[in-house]
């Protein structure tokens, strides 16, 4: 039987592998297309809001300079800067409330939850509503990211395709996750970073290693499709462009690593602050407000508008802010000017934290992932300005390098995703030159950021994930009844009034299996006699006339055929017996047979093999 199972298992495996490839391609292609459409819609609406209505021009990443040919207002309209983010968030709140309440808040966190708690089920409806809500929120100026909605729609694609092909829960989780990888890989143009981040972000200290290959397949596919679509005539983003244009960077000296490590300490500290502000808004401030839920995003948006009156750069995804920082001239400025720049970057970083927390914490749609990279970049830039002003003799790395360090380090700390952040930053900027200092800063922030996480649905590791719970002992045993595996043989019993002398005779004459069931004078089970229990009587040289079996027995524990093996396991655990009498469920006096602890292990192994075949 075992051999047959093993043979079956091995013949199915290659199919699973091949399926991972096909599904990865499918999920990737669909997600790449979705990311492209979402990006166009978001940027179109965003340019309409900012250029045409507000009359301002926000910077964009070099790889996303779309020209929609929209008219530009001649003068900034301050009242629209104040009110539009609120209006967008308000509309977004109405849309999500009406069509998919679960689409409010951070999309990445929702996807993480779906993986752990909900067998990877993400309805397409949620993804679509999320995208619409995010276009309204972010396009109108809300401080939020694009990867949240794109993750939710691409996880929806993976999940729905898995459902269409009737795949198991386990595979649905894998392809839902490869959807996430595809979404991130496409939107940030970071194929490897997307895949690694997806498998990393589920856990605080673990990787979902089984999903890595499908994630890489889908992420690379989505990235390729996304870039092909961007290069279409009429869109016109060069096919070679990474998201950000980077000035020439070189690893100047070993000091880069030292500066990165020092910045890591700062990133960890500010990371704690950011998580505090974000959680304070999401869990305390807005839930405590005595207002209807649909009104709260408006309030958050109003807060963002208020900040934007003085600091335009907090608006939107903030991708353009990073682009500006990467080309910010710093060397050659007077130290005083460098310090002033550093201070302005720091202030902007703090305000971006606040604006993001207000936007998403109030129930606006979007993601915290993107703003986190922006805040990190600003913190890095602030540290760069400080280093150049105060320690010029140490030859600090260029400002652009500091920005990259900050992006990767800050994100790694608050998202517990180190390797993904490093690779993503390298891929977004098209340069791997800074790999060593980037890894350094991530290690430092991760080490200093224990118990800090933006994502409340992240779990510690696979052992604590409900996704794996169905492979655990008790859950497997919960589905199997005692009936299916107990021995229908009545073992010898012993009457409670037998003396120690009688028992000794019985032991000498027959091979009596312990533990023995003790019966009362009506032949009903009433106790259990264990080997350990009778030891004092025979080994302490006691008077055997003094003891009856009744004196030596331990309390009775029985089980019935309709009980699950999980319930039986608890009884074995509590009683400490290695064998339990099985009695009739209707008449507890009637002995039917026995169940051994060993039987549970056998049943567990069989059930495990069965589930593995199914998945």
Partner 1 sequence: MKPHSFLKNLLPAERFQLRLQATAKPGVIRELLDLLEAQRLLRDRGAAEQAVLEREAAMSTGMQDGVAIPHGKTDTVDNLVAAVGLKPEGLDFQSLDRQPARIFVLVVSPARNTPQHLRFMAEISKLLRRPSTRAALLAATAPAAALAALFDLAE
**Residues of this chain that bind partner 1 (CB under 8 A):** 496-497, 499, 532-537, 540-543, 545-548, 550-555
Concatenated DSSP letters of 36-48 = HHHHHHHHHHHHI
Residue 332 or 555 with smaller CB distance to partner 1: 555
Lateral strand order in the sheet of 559-560: 559-560, 579-583, 591-596
**Complex with partner 1: residue 342 or 528, whichever CB lies closer:** 528
Of the candidates 64, 58, 59, the one whose C-alpha atom is nearest the C-alpha of residue 186 is: 64
Nearer residue to partner 1 within complex by CB, 128 or 537: 537
How would DSSP label each residue in 556-605?
Answer: ---EETTSBHHHHHHHHHHH--SEEEEE-SS-TT-EEEEEEHHHHHHHHH
Report the nearest approach of partner 1 to the CB of residue 555 (Å).
5
At its nearest, how many Å lie between partner 1 and the CB of residue 535?
A: 8
Question: Cα–Cα distances in Å, from 141 out to 53, 58, 307, 407?
Answer: 11, 10, 11, 22
**Shorter beta-carbon distance to partner 1: residue 51 or 550:** 550
Between residues 125 and 524, which has the closer beta carbon with respect to partner 1?
Answer: 524
Smaller CB separation from partner 1, 483 or 520: 520
Q: Work out how close the CB of 149 gets to partner 1 at its nearest, in angstroms, rounded to a whole number.
A: 60
Contact call for residues 322 and 374 (beta carbons, < 8 A): yes
If you ran DSSP here, which 8-state letter would residue 138 be given?
H
CB of 538 to partner 1, least distance (A): 9
For tokens 């020092």, what's the residue? 262
- In whole angstroms, the minimum distance from the beta carbon of 496 to partner 1 comes to 8
294 and 93 Cβ atoms separated by less than 8 Å: yes
Say how far residue 234 (Cα) sits from the centre of its chain. Answer: 37
CA distance 45 to 135: 7
Q: Which is nearer to partner 1, 7 or 505 (CB)?
A: 505
Minimum distance from CB of 554 to partner 1 (Å)? Answer: 5
User: Distance (Å, rounded) from C-alpha 584 to C-alpha 368?
Assistant: 58
**Residue 511 Cβ vs partner 1, minimum distance, rounded to whole Å:** 24
User: CA-to-CA distance for 491 and 514, rounded, in angstroms?
Assistant: 10
Phi, psi of 547 (to 5 degrees): -110, 135
Instruction: Compare residues 496 and 607 and give the one whose CB is closer to partner 1.
Output: 496
Closest approach of Cβ 598 to partner 1, in Å? 25
């Amino acid at each position: 039987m075992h051999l047959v199972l093993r043979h079956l298992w091995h013949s199915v495996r290659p199919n699973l592998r091949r399926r991972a490839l096909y599904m990865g391609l499918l999920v990737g292609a669909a997600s790449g297309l979705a990311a492209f459409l979402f990006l166009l819609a978001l940027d179109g609406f965003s340019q309409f809001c900012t250029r045409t209505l507000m009359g301002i021009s926000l910077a964009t990443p070099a790889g996303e300079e779309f020209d929609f040919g929209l008219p530009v207002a001649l003068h900034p309209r301050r009242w629209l800067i104040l009110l539009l983010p609120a209006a967008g968030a308000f509309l977004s709140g109405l849309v999500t409330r009406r069509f998919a309440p679960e689409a409010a808040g951070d999309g990445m966190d929702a996807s993480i939850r779906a993986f752990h708690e909900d067998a990877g089920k993400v309805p397409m409806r949620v993804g679509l509503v999320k995208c619409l809500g995010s276009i309204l929120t972010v396009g109108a100026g809300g401080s939020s990211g694009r990867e949240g909605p794109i993750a939710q729609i691409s996880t929806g694609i993976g999940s729905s395709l898995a459902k269409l092909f009737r795949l198991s829960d386990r595979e649905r989780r894998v392809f839902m996750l490869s959807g996430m990888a595809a979404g991130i890989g496409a939107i940030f143009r970071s194929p490897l970073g997307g895949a690694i981040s997806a498998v990393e972000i589920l856990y605080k200290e673990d990787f979902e290693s089984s999903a890595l290959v499908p994630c890489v397949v889908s992420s690379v596919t989505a990235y390729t499709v996304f870039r092909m679509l961007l290069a279409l005539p009429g869109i016109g983003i060069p096919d070679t462009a990474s998201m950000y244009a980077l000035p020439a960077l070189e690893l100047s000296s070993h000091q880069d690593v030292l500066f990165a490590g020092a910045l890591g300490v700062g990133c960890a500290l500010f990371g704690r602050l950011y998580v505090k502000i974000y959680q304070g808004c999401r869990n305390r401030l807005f839930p405590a407000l005595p207002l209807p839920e649909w009104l709260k995003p408006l309030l958050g948006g109003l807060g963002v508008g208020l900040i934007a009156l003085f600091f335009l750069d907090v608006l939107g995804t903030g991708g353009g802010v990073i682009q500006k920082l990467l080309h910010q001239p710093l060397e050659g400025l007077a130290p005083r000017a460098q310090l002033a720049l550093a201070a302005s970057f720091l202030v902007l970083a703090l305000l971006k934290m606040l604006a993001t927390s207000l936007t998403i914490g109030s129930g606006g749609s979007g993601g915290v992932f993107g703003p986190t990279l922006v805040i990190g970049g600003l913190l890095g830039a602030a540290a760069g300005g400080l280093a150049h002003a105060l320690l010029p003799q140490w030859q600090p790395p260029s400002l652009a390098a500091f920005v990259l360090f900050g992006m990767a380090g800050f994100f790694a700390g608050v998202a517990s995703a180190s390797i993904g952040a490093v690779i993503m930053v390298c891929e977004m900027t098209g340069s791997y030159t800074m790999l060593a200092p980037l890894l350094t800063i991530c290690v430092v922030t991760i080490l200093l950021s224990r118990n800090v996480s933006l994502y409340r649905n992240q779990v510690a590791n696979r052992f604590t994930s409900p996704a794996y719970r169905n492979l655990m002992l008790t859950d497997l045993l919960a589905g199997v009844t005692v009936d299916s595996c107990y021995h229908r043989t009545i073992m010898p019993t012993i009457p409670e009034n037998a003396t120690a002398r009688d028992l000794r005779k019985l032991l000498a004459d027959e091979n009596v299996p312990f533990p023995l069931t003790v019966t009362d004078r009506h032949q009903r089970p009433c106790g259990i006699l264990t080997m350990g229990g009778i030891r004092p009587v025979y080994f302490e040289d006691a008077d055997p006339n003094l003891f009856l079996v009744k004196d030596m027995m331990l309390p009775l524990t029985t089980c019935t055929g309709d009980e699950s093996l999980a319930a039986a396991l608890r009884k074995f655990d509590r009683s400490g017996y290695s064998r339990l009498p099985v009695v009739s469920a209707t008449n507890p006096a009637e002995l039917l047979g026995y169940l051994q602890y060993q039987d549970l292990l056998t049943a567990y192994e069989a059930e495990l093999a069965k589930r593995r075949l199914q998945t």
